[in-house]
């Protein structure tokens, strides 16, 4: 029982991280129908930005986190501005290939700047509140503060995002753009501004995930690829373009991965998660919460 | 008229081409006269780049020393570094590139077992020596007369580790194994599990991971439930470092014991404080009472500013063995192989800084294993060694 509880928590932490990255994919897809493959790299840069803030500039972790979010938001906007905006009215394949190119370029840029070595947050820079404490659970199980913090942070950011989309003016504009960008533009919505804000929000959330993975696991140039692919799968599983779906997809994938590794076979850890995704896609081609009608694909 | 012009154009083209070719031949001829090229293949980038870095530095030091002493048969030794990133797919591309470059006389590498295995058929077909300073999988050298290594095999290492755990560490009953799902990790795990069972240790769990993974909590939770006294890490330093730190976070008190894949200074930086007290088996230790190894260590620090590790030392020796084979055998791929194959008894053995190396009919060699422990953030030789176990 204790083991099961711990595995569920492992899955939820992983799921929270996937969800934070997945909303970035899904928000951009919802508005401009682009799979932004460079999003995984923004996540990776998020981890590196925090790492540099902490090691080179000696910032506290709690300062480094928002700084990294801000830098990634800027980076997301910049990528949209230089790479995707010129192709806004080009065939979708052009933008997709540009996204793949951007992803490769950013990954190798990180390798050039920081090297291929794995970087661990220095022990003195990690907040001891998070890493030094554990919470005992019934049945002898225990969970680290960091894991609880990641779950709570992911949940609160998701709620915040949901409120932003549904209660604010820019959220309304985003929903309008997702429904029909041309019509939204005719109604006087500055669609380019909406797209920029979308990239900024998605990237900032990706940065949070990056910093958390950097703190809990490790920072390395290829991390954006591995976690990015899993998060993209989560977005598809939940129904791409649907923000609640991306959150749900992330959690389902994370829990499936942890339980699969814990109870079936750790050799097929990712395979089990992807088999579940494929099964869902077979029976619900538009994902768990996706619209049943064909999108404008 | 038109035909004539065509003829003259063709003549000019032929003339120019012949000239370029003659010039090209003359240039390569010059190069071949003054230069001996040897490839060094290893993981210079990727998640285990720290291995590659040390391999490169060890080879560079040896090349510098050889060239300072007059080169190979009076020619400059040039090393060609080829990056296989530690992945077999990349390694076969690298192997094709090396094999097709006729100027390269031999290969020092690959480092990872999966890479050496991927390169083996390609080097065999091309007829070029592959001398690995790090691949320990049982099957690496067997089946190709062109493949050699100057390090022990995993069946020996695994038996050694199991005996050390049983005889020296004492009161260890239950052992869990955490293995990298590749040729090295799986092969070592199988040998270790078999030997441990033989010795009466109980294997309570075996968990796998992929090299790309950085989150091991799910597997560790399973291992934790089985309450092992010791976790054997059958993988490479980067993942092992994370496993060690995540195991301590998860509240697993078990003794940690790695194999030579964990023996890298970067293990200490990744694992941090959690590394303390971890044992590893290794093919080589720098001992203070070993003047040859100390001389190399000092020269290495002078050239690169850091202390050498095990892999720098083994590569240092491997490059020297190839150079010796070129000098004594001859300046072609076949002569190098024949010379290496003739080193088949302790009397003919090559006596380098990592000990005496001589090959059996497979190209494998018999060398001792040592044990290191992490103490105060440093790898140091364990107080108790178990030498003379062959």
Q: What is the pLDDT of residues A139-167, one digit of tens each?
A: 778 888 899 999 999 999 999 999 999 99
Per CATH, the homologous superfamily of domain B155-282+371-381 is Response regulator (3.40.50.2300)
User: Which tops the pLDDT comparison, B182 or A139?
Assistant: B182
Length of chain A: 297
Packing angle, helices A223-238 and A191-216, rounded to 10: 120
Beta strands B350-352 and B129-132 are unpaired
Q: Indicate the SS3 state at residue A136.
A: strand
Q: Which pLDDT does position B66 carry in this prediction?
A: 96
Give the closest-approach CA distance of B65 to chain A in angstroms: 28
* Whether the predicted pLDDT of A297 surpasses 50: no
Q: Which pLDDT does position B212 carry in this prediction?
A: 83
| Whole-complex ipTM | 0.87
Give the span between the Cα atoms of B329 and B343, in whole angstroms.
11
User: Which residue of A lies nearest to B251 if distances are taken between CA atoms?
Assistant: A142
Give the span between the Cα atoms of B23 and A242, in whole angstroms.
65
* B31: Cα separation from own chain's centroid: 29
Q: Do A261 and B218 touch (CB under 8 A)?
A: yes
pLDDT band at B208 (very low <50, low <70, confident <90, very high): very high
Cα–Cα distances in angstroms (integers) from residue A15 to residues A135, A248, A253, B96, B316, in the given order: 20, 8, 6, 42, 46
Give the span between the Cα atoms of A119 and B319, in whole angstroms.
31
**Which residue shows structure tokens 């029976």?**
A283
Q: Indicate the SS3 state at residue B37.
A: strand
Which part of chain B has CATH 3.40.50.2300?
33-152+288-359, 155-282+371-381
The verdict on domain B33-152+288-359 having CATH code 3.40.50.2300 is yes
Q: Indicate the SS3 state at residue B105.
A: strand
Q: Does residue A192 contact residue A85 with C-beta atoms inside 8 Å? A: yes
Q: Do A117 and B219 touch (CB under 8 A)?
A: no
Looking at beta carbons, which residues of chain A come within 8 Å of B47? 116, 118, 220, 222
Per mean pLDDT, which range of A226-240, A274-288, B116-130 is the poorest? A274-288
Q: What is the pLDDT of residues B323-363, one digit of tens each?
A: 999 999 999 999 999 999 999 999 999 999 999 999 999 99
Q: Which pLDDT does position A241 carry in this prediction?
A: 87
Give the span between the Cα atoms of B69 and A126, in whole angstroms.
50
* A278: Cα separation from own chain's centroid: 20
* Whether the predicted pLDDT of B5 surpasses 70: no
Q: Which backbone phi and psi does B264 adopt, to 5 degrees?
A: -150, 145
Q: What is the pLDDT of residues A241-292, one digit of tens each?
A: 889 999 999 999 999 999 999 888 888 888 888 888 889 889 888 888 877 5
**Which residue shows structure tokens 């971890």?**
B278
Q: Which pLDDT does position A132 carry in this prediction?
A: 73
* Whether the predicted pLDDT of B28 surpasses 60: no
pLDDT band at B171 (very low <50, low <70, confident <90, very high): confident
Q: How many CB atoms lie within 10 A of CB A80?
A: 23
* A94: Cα separation from own chain's centroid: 24
Give the closest-approach CA distance of B110 to chain A in angstroms: 19
Of the candidates B114, B383, B381, B359, the residue with the CA atom closest to the CA atom of residue B261:
B114
Give the closest-approach CA distance of B179 to chain A in angstroms: 9
Q: Which pLDDT does position A89 carry in this prediction?
A: 87
Q: What is the pLDDT of residues B258-303, one digit of tens each?
A: 999 999 999 999 998 999 999 999 999 998 888 999 999 999 999 9
**Which residue shows structure tokens 């958390």?**
A212
pLDDT band at B23 (very low <50, low <70, confident <90, very high): low
Per mean pLDDT, which range of A123-132, B67-76, B259-268 is the poorest? A123-132
Beta strands A142-144 and A134-136 are antiparallel
Packing angle, helices B49-68 and B310-328, rounded to 10: 40
pLDDT band at B11 (very low <50, low <70, confident <90, very high): low
Q: Which pLDDT does position B389 carry in this prediction?
A: 54
The alpha-carbon radius of gyration of chain B (Å, integer) is 24
Q: Do B214 and A266 touch (CB under 8 A)?
A: no
pLDDT band at A68 (very low <50, low <70, confident <90, very high): very high
Per the prediction, chain A carries an average pLDDT of: 91
Q: What is the pLDDT of residues A22-48, one digit of tens each?
A: 999 999 999 999 999 999 999 999 999
Q: Which pLDDT does position B257 carry in this prediction?
A: 96
């Amino acid at each position: 029982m204790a083991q099961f509880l711990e595995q569920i928590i492992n899955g939820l932490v992983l799921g929270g991280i996937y969800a934070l990255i997945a909303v970035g994919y899904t928000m951009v897809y919802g508005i401009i129908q682009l799979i932004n493959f460079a999003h995984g790299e923004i996540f990776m840069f998020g981890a590196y930005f925090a790492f540099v803030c902490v090691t080179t500039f000696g910032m506290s972790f709690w300062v480094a986190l928002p700084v990294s979010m801000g830098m990634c938001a800027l980076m997301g906007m910049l990528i949209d501005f230089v790479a995707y905006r010129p192709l806004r009215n080009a065939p979708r394949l052009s933008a997709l290939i540009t996204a793949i190119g951007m992803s490769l370029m950013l990954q190798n840029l990180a390798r050039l700047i920081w090297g291929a070595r794995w970087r661990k947050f220095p022990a003195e820079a990690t907040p001891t509140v998070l890493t030094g404490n554990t919470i005992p659970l019934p049945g002898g199980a225990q969970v680290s503060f960091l894991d609880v913090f990641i779950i709570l942070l992911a949940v609160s950011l998701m709620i915040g995002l949901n409120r932003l989309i549904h209660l604010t003016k820019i959220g309304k504009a985003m929903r309008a753009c997702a429904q029909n960008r041309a019509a939204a533009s005719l109604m006087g919505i500055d669609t380019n501004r909406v797209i920029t804000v979308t990239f900024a929000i998605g990237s900032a959330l990706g940065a949070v995930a990056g910093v958390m993975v950097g703190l809990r696991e490790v920072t390395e140039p290829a991390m954006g690829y591995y976690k990015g692919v899993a998060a993209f799968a989560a977005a598809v599983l939940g129904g791409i373009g649907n923000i609640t779906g991306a959150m749900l997809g992330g959690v389902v994938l994370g829990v499936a991965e942890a339980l699969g590794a814990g109870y079936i076979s750790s050799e097929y850890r990712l395979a089990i998660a992807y088999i579940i995704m494929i099964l869902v896609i077979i029976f619900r081609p538009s994902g768990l919460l996706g619209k049943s009608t064909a999108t404008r694909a | 008229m038109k035909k004539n012009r065509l003829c003259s154009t063709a003549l000019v083209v032929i003339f120019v081409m012949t000239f370029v070719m003659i010039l090209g031949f003359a240039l390569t001829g010059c190069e071949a006269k003054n230069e001996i090229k040897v490839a060094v293949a290893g993981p210079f980038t990727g998640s285990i780049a720290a291995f590659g870095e040390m391999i490169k530095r060890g080879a560079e030091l040896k090349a510098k020393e050889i060239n300072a002493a007059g080169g190979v048969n009076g020619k400059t030794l040039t090393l060609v570094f080829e990056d296989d990133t530690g992945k077999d797919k990349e390694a076969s591309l690298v192997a094709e590139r090396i094999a097709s470059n006729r100027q390269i006389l031999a290969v020092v590498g690959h480092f990872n077992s999966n890479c050496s295995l991927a390169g083996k058929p390609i080097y065999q077909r091309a007829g070029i020596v592959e001398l690995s300073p790090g691949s320990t999988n049982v099957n690496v050298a067997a089946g190709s007369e062109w493949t050699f290594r100057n390090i022990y095999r995993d069946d020996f290492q695994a038996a050694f580790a199991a005996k050390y755990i049983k005889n020296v560490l004492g009161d260890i009953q239950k052992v869990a194994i955490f293995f990298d799902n590749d040729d090295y990790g799986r092969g070592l795990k199988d040998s270790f599990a078999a030997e441990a069972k033989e010795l009466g240790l109980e294997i309570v769990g075996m968990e796998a991971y992929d090299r790309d993974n950085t989150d091991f909590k799910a597997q560790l939770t399973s291992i934790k439930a089985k309450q092992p006294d010791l976790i054997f890490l059958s993988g490479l330093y980067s993942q092992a470092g994370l496993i060690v730190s995540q195991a301590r976070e998860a509240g697993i008190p078990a003794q940690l014991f790695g194999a030579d894949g964990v023996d890298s200074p970067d293990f200490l930086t990744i694992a941090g404080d959690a590394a303390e007290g971890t044992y590893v088996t290794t093919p080589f230790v720098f001992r203070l009472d070993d003047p040859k190894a100390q001389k190399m260590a000092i020269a290495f620090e002078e050239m690169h500013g850091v202390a050498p590790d095990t892999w720098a030392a083994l590569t240092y020796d491997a490059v020297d063995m190839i150079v010796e084979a070129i000098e004594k055998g001859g300046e072609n791929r076949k002569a190098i192989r024949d010379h290496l194959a003739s080193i088949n008894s302790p009397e003919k053995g090559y006596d380098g800084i990592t000990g005496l190396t001589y090959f059996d009919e497979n190209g494998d060699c018999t060398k001792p294993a040592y044990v290191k422990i992490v103490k105060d953030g440093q790898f140091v030789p364990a107080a108790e060694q178990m030498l003379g176990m062959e």
